[in-house]
Chains A and B, each alone.
Chain A
């Protein structure tokens, strides 16, 4: 089945220790998104790629970076995780982005714990 896959599902890291979360998709979608979701909060868009075109949200901290080496994979790098970065990180894709009938397809998420 075509899908969005996130690894690992749970990630524990230490304060200040760099961590990388990964997302892959078999949908061949053009657009990939990273969201941060804290408990009982709305998902917050961090950045998205339209093909290779990187789009950073204005309020995304510099501590967060992303890479998209090819259509299928996208990575979220947190350079120096702080306690406030503990959250669920959701990856999503969409065919073209912004279409009237277009939805986003979400992966299961990676829950990050910072000790």
Chain B
């Protein structure tokens, strides 16, 4: 069974600092890994998707890396802003079975 762990569970950073969020997974047989954002009381929004053959994906201030062999992914958010305050969830898709396995999320507060 795929286990996804996100550390730390919660963190606060001053505005302008770079954010580093970590995700680890136990089974390296994945199709892709995704990072989602969830605002309080809301649904999930997809931020970045990394296919299993890729090493990283970038979108604006966001960069996600994937090391499949070690079962790790890192989400970097450059020059954090108060609007980045949210919970970030990591999820992995196992081959062909439509099922995403989620971590519990990193709850981020960016202090103005």
Most buried by A among B9, B31, B43, B100: B43
Inter-subunit contact A108/B51 (CB<8 Å) = no
- The number of chain B residues touching the other chain, given as a range, is 20 to 34
Contact A42 B98 (CB under 8 A): no
- Residues of A near B103 (CB, < 8 A) are 42
Q: Nearest B residue to A31 by beta-carbon distance?
A: B98
Q: Kindly state the interface size class of chain A when it binds its partner.
A: 20 to 34
B98 touches A109 (CB 8 A): no
Q: B27 → chain A, closest Cβ, in Å?
A: 15
Tell me the residues in window 64-98 of chain B with beta carbons closer than 8 Å to chain A beta carbons: 89, 93, 95-98
Residue A41, interface by CB 8 Å: yes
Question: Does residue B19 face the partner (Cβ distance < 8 Å to A)?
Answer: no
Query: Contact partner of A48 among B46, B98, B102, B107, CB < 8 A?
Result: B98
Smallest CB separation, A8 vs chain B (Å): 13
The interface of chain B, by Cβ under 8 A from chain A, is: 4, 9, 31-32, 34, 36, 41-46, 49, 51-52, 89, 93, 95-100, 102-105, 107
15 more contacts with CB within 8 A, not counting A40-B105, A101-B32, A107-B43, are: A43-B44, A48-B99, A90-B44, A98-B93, A98-B97, A100-B32, A100-B51, A100-B52, A101-B51, A102-B93, A104-B46, A104-B100, A106-B36, A106-B44, A108-B43
